[in-house]
A and B are shown apart, each in its own frame.
Chain A
Amino acid sequence: MKISNLISLIAKGNEKAFATLYDTYKNRVFNTVLGYVQNREEAEEVAQDVFIEVFRSCTNFKGESSESTWIYRIAINKSLDHLRHKRRKKRFAFLQSLFNADTGALQHDVPHFEHPGILLENKDKAAILFKAIDTLPESQKTAYILSFVEDLSGKEVAEVMNLSPKAVESLLQRAKAGLRNELEKYYPERRKLK
């Protein structure tokens, strides 16, 4: 069955159609979200939010973009919302830690993240790269994650981000330069990896 038909069926409340759509996109959504939030449990929660949003806003889908673009956009927005919320919580935790002498330490620190799809020999280096990805500005992060974690083509990324392929290319260039700059900080850690 065509995905566009599925969406119109879901809009009518058809649960089977929703299950089919879920099966088609579950890994794409989860993988994209995981690239942003870098935590399996949180990624599952955000991915659930994405599918709930898909179910609720099916009636609003006008078909101006492809279904996959629409679902990717929801996944990206939910992930960015989650990261913003986390950042706010982190700031609040910092203020709390100023008044709480017991802990002293900051809560919600970025933990070491290992993407489950990374080749074994690249695990440690990829963990450092993900730390660096986390510091990128939102648009560069989106372009980088869609291109290198989700492995979308330049054209697909441009469609999802509603930009021209040239603009995406420029974002990727800046993201790569930013990452290389950020990696300077982690260079001393390389010996621990060897």
Chain B
Amino acid sequence: MNNDKEQWKDEVMNSLDGIHRAEAPDFMFTRIVGRLESAMNEPVSSYIPVKRAWVAIACFILLCVCDIGFLKAINHSGLNNTHEARGSSPYAIENTNFNLY
């Protein structure tokens, strides 16, 4: 079974033996020259595809939403921490014992 598999792999790996170069399609040169000529005659434009513009806008909005959400989360947890520090922390009470008069 294993030998069979290895032999099959060898056959597949050797399947490129004797390969010939693929030939370029006819009239490719004519098409290249055509493309070169049309590129030379075309005015240079700064056109941005509509799809790309929408993706950029969507990414920007998503980034803003994430930022706002993140800032809100930080503010909320920050406030909670200060409440804790003022009120219920055992260290706050104990510190009064070390006040200097």
Residues of A near any B CB (own CB < 8 A):
15, 19, 22, 26-31, 34, 40, 43-44, 47-48, 51-52, 55, 115-119, 122, 125-126, 128-129, 132, 148-151, 176, 179-180, 183-184, 186-187, 190
| Known A125-B11, A128-B12, A187-B8: A26·B29 in contact at CB below 8 Å | yes
28 sampled A-B residue pairs with Cβ under 8 A: A22-B29, A27-B21, A30-B23, A30-B24, A43-B22, A44-B25, A47-B28, A48-B28, A51-B32, A52-B32, A52-B36, A55-B32, A55-B36, A115-B19, A116-B23, A117-B19, A118-B16, A119-B18, A122-B17, A128-B15, A129-B15, A132-B12, A148-B19, A180-B9, A183-B12, A183-B13, A184-B5, A187-B9
- Taking a contact as CB atoms closer than 8 A, the residue among B16, B20, B32, B33 that contacts A129 in the complex is B16
Given contacts A115-B22, A126-B15, A179-B13, contact A44 B36 (CB under 8 A): no
Residues of B within 8 A of A186 (CB): 12
CA A122 to CA B18, docked complex, whole Å: 10
| Contact present for A117 and B22 (CB under 8 Å) | yes
Dominant secondary structure at the A interface: helix
On chain B, the residues within 8 Å of A27 by CB distance are 21-24
- A30-B24, A126-B16, A180-B13 in contact; A22/B32 too (CB < 8 A)? yes
Q: Cβ of B28 and Cβ of A34 under 8 Å apart?
A: no
Chain B residues touching A, majority SS: helix
- In angstroms, how far is the closest chain A Cβ from the Cβ of B9? 5
Binding site for A on B (CB under 8 A): 5, 8-9, 11-13, 15-25, 28-29, 31-33, 35-36, 39
CB distance from A113 to the nearest CB of B (A): 11
The docked-state distance in angstroms from the alpha carbon of A104 to that of B98 is 71
Q: Which of B5, B19, B23, B32 contacts A118 (CB 8 A)?
A: B19
User: Are the CB atoms of A34 and B9 closer together than 8 Å?
Assistant: no
Residues from chain B with Cβ under 8 Å of A119 in the complex: 17-19
CB proximity of B6 to chain A, nearest CB, Å: 9
Q: Considering the chains assembled together, what is the distance between the CA atoms of A55 and B20 in angstroms?
A: 27
- Cβ-neighbour of B22 out of A19, A116, A126, A132 (below 8 A): A116
A37 vs chain B, min Cβ distance (A): 12
**Contacts of A190 on B, CB cut-off 8 Å?**
8
Q: Closest residue to B27 on the A side, CB-wise? A: A44
Q: Which residue of A lies closest to B33 (CB)?
A: A15
In the complex the two chains form, is B29's CB within 8 Å of A149's CB? Answer: no
Residues of the A chain whose Cβ atoms lie less than 8 Å from the Cβ of B24: 26-27, 29-30, 44, 47
Residue of B nearest to A119 (CB): B18
